[in-house]
Amino acid sequence: MILVLLILLILGGIKMNKETLEQVKENLSSKPVDQIKKAIISFDKDLAEESLSLALESKIDSLEIFAAITDVMKTVGYNFEQRNIFLPELISASDTMQFIVPKLEEEILKSGKKREVLGTIVIGTVLGDLHTIGKQMVSTLLRANGFEVVDLGIDISAVKFIDAIKKNKADILAMSALLTTTAYEQKNVMEALEKENLRDSVKVMVGGGAVTKDFADTIGADGYDSTAPGSVRLAIELMKK
């Protein structure tokens, strides 16, 4: 995704906490870190902000807090894959997490500590394509599994992808395309990577409704998966190569 987790279980190669969200809630205490977890799975931004402030005031290690957030987001991802929760809940949990992460990362930087990450991924929907939900699902699960994710958004040109890869020293580029008319933009990005002499330094994974494994192989991508959880497993495997 890595960080120290409270529970380490395996689901298809991804470490997951297999509790339901209700089970997690039942086991949470009134301690600030537990209340941060509760806030994320209850989609309560006010509680998240309040609990984070209290945790930091209590001198709780910022990396410990980040590990707790990672842990609960893994549980959210597992429950989404098991269809215990659905897309609105996944997005709401992600939004709550993202609401407090910038402040937490600021504290980590101040402390001089570094949180462990599996790798840095630049992700976006290609030029001409305005679809975001699938990409957002993948971004959420990648973050939950310990990756640093730079989400460029939608309608992203080859130039913007290239700039982001250089700026963030990305390990992986992930591109999405839902329309058949925009899928070939992924090929344009691949050609741009070659021209910029970046192809050997970054792995490329592609997905989206208009993309198939055969298409991914044709354009020279390093990997393809049709699902958000599968994309996480793919990213982990690509980091090993």
Shared domain for 203 and 126, answered yes or no, is: yes
Shared domain for 106 and 142, answered yes or no, is: no
CA geometry: angle 115, 113, 146, nearest 5 deg: 5
Among 10, 70, 59, 85, which Cα is nearest to 36's?
Answer: 70
Shared domain for 136 and 221, answered yes or no, is: yes
Tell me which of 86, 111, 136 is where a domain ends: 111
Check: CB of residue 173 under 8 Å from CB of residue 203. Answer: yes
**CATH number reported for the structural domain that contains residue 46 in this entry:** 1.10.1240.10
Tens-digit pLDDT profile for the chain (241 aa)? 222 222 222 233 344 567 888 998 999 999 999 999 999 999 999 999 999 999 999 999 988 998 899 889 888 888 888 889 988 898 899 899 989 988 988 888 788 777 778 999 999 999 999 988 788 888 888 887 889 999 999 999 999 999 999 999 999 999 999 888 899 999 999 999 999 999 999 999 999 988 999 999 999 999 999 888 889 999 999 999 8
Shared domain for 79 and 181, answered yes or no, is: no
Residue 38, domain extent: 10-111
Q: Structure pTM?
A: 0.72
Residues 6 or more apart in contact with residue 58 via CB below 8 angstroms: 32
